[in-house]
């Protein structure tokens, strides 16, 4: 084999256009010649790009090459020294031949899972995903897996039954899916579409992104395009820029703006005109999103009318803000009957989007951020606190949800430990002994901790709740509608009460000038906080969770 032919075969492998016959030809020469194997390794010199694409590059050599060199001649010219990674790639090639870039590790065949945050021995957080689910609108997914906005996605199957989603790949490419579709995420640079319609936007940074369909492989050259897969038929539609279309048995074609290419099993390729209106678009996504959240807000407000008129409720802080309000520091208590003195006042915290775009929330970031409330000094035989929160970081040893100012007799503190455990506590003074003997009065804290349930998993909202029965000393803590701990304090004595007085949501206490105080501010967002004067049942907590789920 002469040098020109060898270079041509290697270039085809690098840009993913190697056919089965060429694969056999290249594999034969590599098996028979040590010099060619050495040359192959040298030619695969994608050192800088491979480092950039980290671990996914071994599984996606074609996508990596496409990023740097969309044409054959350019691919070969771009080659240089390569080293260990290229040797591994060469070994993979010898092992699996033409199917390299298609056969993936076995876990890629499994239903896609959200990325898990893991810690190495040095406790440095690492990421194992390849994309982020950036937007979700009224979506239902196959199987038991539930996805949420902000989830990092690992390589694997992704099946949408209805609704719409946007997936942002780590490479910078964006995928829109509307209605039923099935795709497989291969890496940050590659995906497959097995069924349905998908629209891709690929900015210059992500040029080379690959999308494989039945009977067709698409390599982007910086553009916006869509694909449709219906059984054995695949079609490509280019709306902006141009893409490479590789169809086995045919020459690679450049499909440009306004054109389409259709491939069926029993027919050749058919050129046509692209129709953007038939595919998911940003405009349609935004329209659908606005309609969905308007409907969601209307349903939620109707449900909250029942909640706020519950005779057991003391505080119904919905974190609702009117745009024409001159002062935006008021946090209304919507409980009925109204208690004007119990309205909250935002300090430092700023208004942002809540669980969904049209639902306001307050964001707590600095050590001074808080919402001041005062529910009076009335005493009760129990309590319930329930809130929708988004935790951006567990920065403090104790991260406040609601803390009474002084932590006096019967006053509650509800926090999240740095480890992610919910912690509820109430402070009581000791009873004097019945025989009248002198004793040293001191406080006895009753502390209740859940297992670790809270983490800083992207932008996900969670519902947290705690109920406390002051007559029995039992506290139950809930996470996303389910009880995660149920405890009775060994220190509890009967005939106790609880009270609130001045409190802060998202922080602790009113600072005394000149006196240092512990920093316990929440790093995150709150967009609903309910306080009852009785412990609610598990079913009632579950109902509160169900009526407020964001998606």
Confidence of residue 77 (pLDDT cuts 50, 70, 90): very low
Reply yes or no on whether the pLDDT at 90 is more than 50.
no
| Cβ–Cβ under 8 Å, residues 358 and 293 | yes
> How high is the mean pLDDT of the chain?
81
Handedness of CA 36, 37, 42, 44 (dihedral sign): positive
Segments of the chain assigned to CATH 2.60.120.200: 303-547
Distance CA 59, CA 103 (A): 9
Written as one string, the DSSP assignment of 36-61 is: HHHHHHHHT--HHHHHHHGGGGTT-H
| Cβ–Cβ under 8 Å, residues 162 and 130 | no
Segments of the chain assigned to CATH 2.60.120.1440: 131-280
Written as one string, the DSSP assignment of 350-415 is: EEEE-SSTTSEEEEE-STT-EEEEE--S--BSEEEEEEEEEEEE--SSEEEEEEESS--TT-EEEE
Question: What are the tens digits of pLDDT across the range 517-540?
Answer: 778 999 999 999 999 999 999 999
| pLDDT score, position 322 | 74
Write down the architecture of domain 303-547 according to CATH: Sandwich (2.60)
Reply yes or no on whether the pLDDT at 320 is more than 50.
yes
As to burial, measured by CB atoms within 10 angstroms (0-12 exposed, 13-18 middle, 19+ buried), residue 544 is buried
Start-to-end CA distance of the chain, whole Å, equals: 60
| pLDDT score, position 508 | 87
Peptide bond before residue 40 is cis, with ω within 30 degrees of 0: no
| pLDDT score, position 440 | 64
Written as six digits, the tokens of 109 are 């065949």
| pLDDT score, position 445 | 85
Distance CA 377, CA 118 (A): 45
| pLDDT score, position 105 | 36
- Secondary-structure class of domain 131-280 per CATH: mainly beta
pLDDT, average across residues 135-145: 87
Highest mean pLDDT: which range of 60-74, 486-500, 502-516: 486-500
Chain-centroid distance, C-alpha 232: 33
Residue 67 to residues 46, 50, 53, 222, 494, Cα–Cα distance (Å): 10, 10, 10, 10, 70
Distance CA 483, CA 464 (A): 10
Lowest mean pLDDT across 4-18, 180-194, 222-236: 4-18
Backbone φ, ψ for residue 280 (5° rounding) = -55, 140
Distance CA 46, CA 69 (A): 10
User: Where is 199: in which H helix or E strand?
Assistant: strand 190-202
Written as six digits, the tokens of 172 are 């910078």
Percent of the chain with pLDDT over 70: 77
What are residue 256's DSSP bridge partners? Answer: 242
Confidence of residue 41 (pLDDT cuts 50, 70, 90): low
pLDDT, average across residues 248-270: 86
- Global pTM reads 0.69
pLDDT, average across residues 223-238: 92
- 34-70 burial, b at 16+ Cβ within 10 Å, e below that, comes to eebbebbbebbbbeebbeebeebbbbbbbbbbbbbbb
Catalogue the E-assigned strands of 264-310: 269-273
pLDDT, average across residues 176-180: 91
Angle formed by the axes of helices 34-43 and 3-15, to 10°? 50
Cβ neighbour number for residue 289 with a 10 Å cutoff: 18
């Amino acid at each position: 084999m002469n040098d020109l032919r060898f270079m041509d075969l290697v270039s085809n492998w690098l840009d993913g256009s190697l056919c089965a016959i060429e694969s056999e030809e290249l594999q034969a020469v590599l098996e028979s010649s040590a010099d060619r194997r050495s040359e192959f390794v040298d030619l695969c010199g994608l050192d800088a790009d491979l480092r950039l694409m980290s671990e996914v590059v071994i599984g996606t050599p074609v996508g990596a090459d496409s990023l740097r060199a969309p044409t054959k001649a350019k691919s070969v010219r771009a080659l240089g020294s390569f080293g260990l990674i290229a040797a591994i790639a060469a070994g993979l090639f010898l092992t699996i031949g033409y199917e390299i870039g298609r056969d993936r590790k076995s876990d890629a065949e499994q239903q896609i899972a959200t990325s898990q945050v893991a810690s190495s021995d040095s406790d440095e957080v690492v990421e194992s995903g390849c994309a982020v689910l950036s937007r979700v609108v009224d979506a239902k997914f196959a199987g038991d897996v539930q996805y949420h906005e902000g989830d990092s996605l690992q390589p694997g199957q992704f099946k949408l039954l209805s609704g719409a989603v946007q997936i942002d790949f780590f490479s910078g490419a964006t995928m829109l899916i509307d209605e039923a579709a099935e795709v497989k995420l291969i890496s940050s640079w590659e995906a497959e579409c097995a069924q349905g319609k998908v629209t891709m936007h690929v900015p210059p940074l992500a040029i080379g992104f690959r999308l494989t369909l039945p009977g067709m492989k698409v390599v982007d050259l910086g553009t916006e395009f869509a694909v449709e897969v219906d059984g054995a038929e695949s079609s490509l539609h280019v709306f902006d820029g141009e893409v490479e279309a590789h169809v086995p048995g045919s020459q690679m074609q450049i499909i440009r703006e306004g054109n389409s290419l259709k491939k069926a099993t029993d027919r050749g390729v058919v050129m046509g005109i692209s129709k953007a209106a038939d595919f998911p678009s940003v405009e349609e996504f935004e329209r659908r999103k606005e309609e969905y959240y308007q409907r969601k807000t209307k349903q939620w407000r109707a449900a909250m009318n029942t909640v706020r008129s519950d005779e057991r409720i003391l505080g119904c802080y919905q974190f609702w803000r009117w745009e024409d309000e001159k002062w935006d520091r008021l946090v209304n208590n919507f409980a009925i009957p109204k208690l004007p003195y119990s309205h909250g006042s935002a300090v430092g915290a700023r208004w942002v989007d809540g669980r969904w775009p049209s639902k306001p929330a307050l964001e707590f970031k600095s050590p001074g951020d808080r919402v001041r409330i005062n529910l009076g000094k009335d005493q009760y035989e129990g309590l319930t606190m329930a809130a929708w929160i988004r935790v951006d970081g567990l920065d403090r040893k104790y991260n406040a949800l609601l803390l009474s100012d002084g932590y006096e007799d019967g006053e509650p503190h509800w926090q999240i430990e740095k480890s992610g455990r919910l912690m509820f506590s109430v402070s009581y003074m000791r009873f004097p002994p019945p025989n009248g003997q002198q004793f040293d009065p001191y406080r006895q804290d009753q502390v209740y901790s859940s297992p670790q349930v809270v983490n800083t998993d992207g932008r996900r909202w969670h519902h947290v709740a705690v109920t406390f029965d002051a007559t029995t000393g039992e506290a139950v803590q809930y996470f996303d509608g389910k009880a995660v701990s149920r405890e009775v304090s060994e220190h509890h004595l009967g005939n106790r009460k609880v009270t609130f007085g001045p409190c802060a949501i998202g922080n602790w206490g009113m600072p005394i000038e000149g006196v240092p105080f512990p920093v316990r501010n929440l790093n995150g967002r709150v967009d609903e906080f309910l306080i009852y004067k009785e412990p609610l049942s598990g079913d009632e907590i579950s109902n509160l969770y169900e009526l407020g789920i964001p998606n």
